[in-house]
Structures are given as C-alpha cells and as structure tokens.
Amino acid sequence: MWRLLALAVLAAVLAAPRPAMAGDPYAFFDWDVSYVTAAPLGVKQQVIGINGKFPGPVVNVTTNWNVVVNVLNDLDEPLLITWNGIQHRKNCWQDGVLGTNCPIPSGWNWTYEFQVKDQIGSFFYFPSTALQRAAGGFGGIVVNNRDVIAVPFARPDGDITILIGDWYNRNHTDLRKMLDEGKDLGMPDGVLINGKGPYRYNDSLVPAGIDHETIDVHPGRTYRIRVHNVGTSTSLNFRIQGHNMLLVETEGSYTTQQNYTSLDVHVGQSYSFLVTTDQNATSDYYVVASARMVNESLWRRVTGVAVLRYSNSGGAASGPLPDPPQDQFDKTLSMNQARSVRWNLSAGAARPNPQGSFRYSAINVTQAYLLRSEAPAEIGGRRRAALNGLSFSPPETPLRLADAYDVKDAYTLDFPDRPDAAAARPPRIARSIINGTYRGFMEIIFQNNDTRMQSYHMDGYAFFVVGMDYGEWTESSRGTYNKGDSVARSTVQVYPGAWTAVLVSLDNVGFWNVRSENLDSWYLGQEVYVRVVNTEDGANKTEMAVPSNALYCGQLHKYQKEQTPHHKMAAASAAAPAKSTVGSQIVAAALMLVAGALTFAS
C-alpha cells in the first residue's frame, strides 16, 4: 500500500506544473471532430471532418514548439488522434493509439499536449482506431526549421500540402463490418486528392458533377509540395504533368536532392518536393496519383487527378494523363527508386550539427527481430492478420497506463524474435509485445510473405532504412546493407515477396506502436508494441509522468471522472457544460490518483 500511495502522491506533485518545456512557444488548436456530409466520388456519405472541414487543417508549427490540441469528439463512437511521424520524446502519453491512450468517449473532449522536439519536416495526423481513417479525420503537419538552422535549399515561394489516398464509397462502419465478416475490402472506388475526386480528364471514366482539387501557382516560382498517402491500402504513383519534382525531404530527413518525374508514395508515407513552375502554361497541368503494385489496367478507376493551374494559364487541361512508370513486368524499378532515396549527410535537419553526424553503421546491433507477415488467415475462428503468427488484440487498458498502475496481465513481453520461433505454435490472437532495451540498437527486418504491398510504421522514432530486396532475408543479407547514407524515416514499404531492414536507436522511453499502415491489415491485428523502459529513471528524466488529464478505461476505468458530454446536439438541449479550470482539473486528477491508491490497497 505504501508504494502505491507514494506513487500517487508523487504523480500528483509531478503533474502540477506543465512539463519542463516552458520557454518554447505554444500553438493552440481547438478541434471539433464530427461527421460532415460529402460526396467526393459522387456518392453521398458521412466523412469525418475537423471544424467542419474535410480534410482537416494543416498543423503548421516550428521545431520545439509546444502543440496543444483540444479535441472534441462529436462522432458517435470513441476517437483517438495519432500524429504520424511525430516522436513525442519522453511522452508516449500523447501518441493517440490504444496502447498508450484510452479513447475519447463520444461527446467528450480531451487535450493533447506535446512538443515537436528536435524535428523538422512533413508529417500528418489521423484518427487511429476502428478504421476511421477510411472516413477522413486526417490532415498535414508541417514542422518548420527554427530561423537559426540552415535549410539545404532556397526558401520556397509557397508551401502546399497534398493528401492523396484511395477511397471507398462505403463508409468506415460498413468497411469494418466487411472485415469483421471475414471479407476483403476489394478494389477502392477511387483516389482522393485533398478530399476531392478526380478532374474529369475522360468523360467515360469520370462521371460529371465531381468536384476536383485545383492548385493555384504563379509562373517562375518554386513551391514546396508535401505529399502524404493517407489512404487505406493502395500504393500510389504521384506525378505532375510536364514538371520535375525535386525530392528534398521525407518524414523529417533531408534527402539528397534528385529530380523524379514520378514517385511511388506508399500508405503512410510523406515526401517534400520542390516544383518549379517553369512551363509555358499553354494549359493547366494534371496532378496524378494512380494505383501502383496492382494490375493497373484493372485498377484504372483508382486514379486521383487534380489540376495545377498557373495564374497565366491558357485553359483547361485535356488529353491523356501523363504515363505511369512502364514497368508491368519489371518489379525492380519501384524498389530501385526506393533505394535511391538517400540521406543528405551534410544537411542540418532540426539541429545545427549535420544529420549525418549520427553514424548508425558504427553502432552494434543489440536486438534483432524478423517480423514476417502473411496473407490474412483464419486465427481463432476469425479472419485475422498477424506478424510472426501473432495477431495483436487491442488492449482495453492502455499498456503504458497498465504499467504505471501495476495492472497485471495487461500484456506479455514474449514477442518471438523470429517467425520460426513462433512456428511451433499455431497462429493465435495475443497481446504480446517486444521487450526493447533502453539505449539498445535494434534491427527489424520486415519480411512480406503476402502477395500485396505493405508498409510499416514505428511511432516514437525514425529508423534507418538500410536494405530491401526480393526473396527471403538471410544473415548474409546484412552484407548488402547501406552503411553510409540510409535515410531515417518512420514509414517504409515492403514489397510482396521481399524484405526491408531498418535499424533504430532505442533512446525514447515509452510504449511505441509498430504497425502495418494498411488499414485493413492493421485492423485485423498486424501491429505490435515495443516497450522501452529505463529501469534507472529515478526522477522521470527520461519519461514524463502520467498527464494530469489522462483518461482511464478498462481495468482502470474506476479512476475516471465523469465528463459532461459536449455534443453539439446534447449541448443545445442540455444545460451549459460545466467549465473547470486547469487548476481544478489537476486537483481532481490528484485526488483521483489518491483514491485509486486507496482502492488498490483495500
């Protein structure tokens, strides 16, 4: 009992001031997340909007700023927002996935507060549970450099966020039902660009009455275009008719600058290009995102088309779209392109020292995991997806919170490091996670035994993409790793029948989600967590304490105070929602913790 009581009192004391990040500016956002009616492909449906907008607003902040987002859940189901690529250093409490946060109940609000510490670049946010991303709720995140840090290119004349993604006319609850019934989602109905359907480039392929995106530019300028694939499961080839795209950054790393006429952007990935408006503007130009790594002639409708319009444009775009890469029978072209994305070792990134001064090749690997994915199969009587034969069961009690409150049996730490270590047992549904060693250096090899493209993401970190190839990974594959200028990023593609190897330095304490970015595979269980604890963390120097506004659910639900629902509809009819100051909330949270300790003890 003493230990628990001490824990509660300590946590209450630690919760009192804001976390130690005073001095850096704050950016505040108020988001009302609700359904809005839209018909991006001509079929009316409920999509998830933020403050009535679909897609949501761009979060435009600068390195080391504190970001405070008050999220009001006006949906009819629980909600969590996650921040793809934001590292939440020492602070997985804000990560917005079920392993670290209780979902925000319908009608409640919850405030995220985190610092975008030592990061720059292009990221995005989205609702992380229950397939909600298939309905929207996403938006871009721009983290700018501080003025004192050099950027490896001249200041662009504009900054444009482009969200691309496959789209279904069925809503996310219907899609969920299909997966629950063991069905495949099948071919998407199209591709949206910034929430809009395709420009009518061909009357027989695109019906009339669909609203498309227009990107307005001036001639003779250079724009930074940030492209994010926020879709469900389709890899997309992105291209702009008549224009080179100079790749400069991906997910927080400056790349060596190279021109591409098109680039494959896989689900969950983000890239920045510099595009110079150096064409004669005889007419507008097509901006295309077309399905990749599928039979493209069958998947023709899965094509997004927007328009790049110069201010001196001579007229509408017409004629055929610019060709996708002609490599139907050459599976190496896309992979070679992926390999060509390299780190610019001399560029400064978020800090003054060159990003390449972190020499990953000089560090010895301390833990290695080979994670094998297979096509979804029947596991425990249901169609599920697995890694190393384990299909993750989403926790009712967030794993990190369970640790903080000594909840037993919330998870096991025995995730198999090899698929063959798992093969002895039949595939199963489990809540087994990876025991990461703090300050260790982990190698993760993703082996894709499925016949479709996958991409995998790790929260809390950027990893070095040191290798990828077709076939089965073997020990000797290590000889092919790029030991010099592998790019550091948070989402990587894994080609069917191929492997991708990444290295990650486990210096960020917390519980971090490793997941398939393909929504259906993720929903069906293809995720795991890496638990990184510092056993010598006496005073929470390497990890922040439980936030004072933490939500409690599952086995800890008894600590949760009721919140007056703030539903717009409810608020209209019911009395005005109770207002509470930050101070009173902290007191309430502290009392809650003490009460919790007593409950435990009794």
Q: Which two tokens mark 190?
A: 């199209």
Question: Applying CB under 6 A, does 353 fall inside the site for ligand NAG?
Answer: no
Q: Is 298 in the site for ligand NAG (CB under 6 A)?
A: yes
Query: Among 120, 227, 263, 546, which residue interacts with ligand NAG (rule: CB under 6 A)?
Result: 546
Q: Between 141 and 267, whose beta carbon lies closer to ligand NAG?
A: 141
Which two tokens mark 231? 């879709």
* Closest by CA position to 464, among listed 346, 341, 372, 348: 341
Answer for which of 37, 280, 312, 332 binds ligand NAG (CB under 6 A) is: 280
Q: Is 477 in the site for ligand NAG (CB under 6 A)?
A: no
Q: How far is the CB of 396 from ligand NAG (least distance, A)?
A: 20
Bond before 17 cis per omega within 30 degrees: no
CB nearer to ligand NAG: pick between 545 and 551: 545
Q: Does the protein bind ligand NAG through residue 17 (CB under 6 A)?
A: no
CB 336 within 8 A of CB 264: no
Closest CA to 271 of 327, 326, 230, 332: 230
* Residue 397, CA distances (Å) to 166, 232, 400, 513, 558 in order: 32, 26, 9, 15, 12
**Segment interacting with ligand NAG, rule: CB under 6 A, options 227-235, 339-347, 387-395, 519-527:** 339-347
Among the listed residues 20, 316, 413, 591, the single contact to ligand NAG using CB under 6 A = 413
328 to 221, 297, 310, 341: CA distances (angstroms) = 35, 10, 33, 22
Write out the binding residues for ligand NAG, residues 30-69 only, by CB under 6 A: 46, 60, 62
How many residues in the shown chain lie near ligand NAG by CB under 6 A?
54
583 is a contact residue toward ligand NAG (CB under 6 A)? no
For 342, the token pair is 């390299």
Which stretch, 98-106, 535-543, 554-562, 593-601, contacts ligand NAG (CB under 6 A)? 535-543
Q: Which lies closer to ligand NAG via its Cβ, residue 264 or residue 381?
A: 264
| 534 near ligand NAG (CB under 6 A) | no
Interaction with ligand NAG in 210-249: which residues (CB under 6 A)?
244, 246
To ligand NAG, the closest distance from the beta carbon of 398 in angstroms equals 12
Give the CA-trace dihedral at 491, 190, 519, 308, to 10 degrees.
30
Q: What are the tokens at 497?
A: 């029948």
Task: State how far the Cα of 92 lies from the Cα of 543, in Å rounded to an integer.
Answer: 9
The smaller minimum CB distance to ligand NAG, of residues 57 and 394, is found at 57
* Residue 355 C-beta: closest distance to ligand NAG, Å: 9
Record the tokens describing residue 327, joined without a space: 């490599």
Place of tokens 């680039």: 263
Identity of the residue, 159 or 396, whose beta carbon is nearer to ligand NAG in the bound complex: 159
- Of the pair 106, 257, the CB lying nearest ligand NAG is at 257
Phi, psi angle pair for 478, to nearest 5°: -60, -30
Phi, psi of 219 (to 5 degrees): -70, 155
Residue from 72, 225, 390, 422 in contact with ligand NAG (CB under 6 A):
72
Work out the number of other CB atoms within 10 angstroms of the CB of residue 346: 12
DSSP structure class, residue 343: B
Site string for ligand NAG, 423-462 (x = CB under 6 A): ------------x-x-----------x-x-----------
Contact region with ligand NAG (CB under 6 A), list: 189-197, 388-396, 456-464, 533-541: 533-541
Which of 23, 208, 209, 297 touches ligand NAG by CB under 6 A? 297
Which run of H or of E encompasses 488?
A: strand 488-489
Q: Which is nearer to ligand NAG, 106 or 435 (CB)?
A: 435
Which residues, 6 or more positions from 77, have their beta carbon under 8 angstroms from its beta carbon? 106, 130, 132
Q: 549-562 in b/e burial notation, b at 16+ Cβ within 10 A?
A: bbbbbebbeebeee
By CB under 6 A, residue 105 contacts ligand NAG: no
Residue type, 123: F
Number of neighbours of residue 342 by Cβ within 10 angstroms = 17
CA gap 186, 117 in Å, rounded: 40
Tell me which stretch binds ligand NAG (CB under 6 A): 4-12, 79-87, 218-226, 518-526: 4-12
Residues making up the chain, counted from first to last: 602
Does an H or E element contain 377, and which? strand 377-379
Tokens representing 65 are: 């700023």
Specify the stretch interacting with ligand NAG by CB under 6 A; choose among 80-88, 186-194, 225-233, 251-259.
251-259
Q: Which is nearer to ligand NAG, 384 or 531 (CB)?
A: 531
- 326 or 364, CB closer to ligand NAG? 364
- Token readout for 383 is 């169609």
* Interface positions with ligand NAG (CB under 6 A): 7, 10-11, 14, 46, 60, 62, 70, 72, 109, 111, 144, 152, 159, 171, 173-174, 202, 204-205, 244, 246, 256-257, 259, 276, 278, 280, 282, 295, 297-298, 320, 328, 344, 346-347, 362, 364, 404, 413, 435, 437, 449, 451, 496-497, 538-540, 545-546, 566, 579
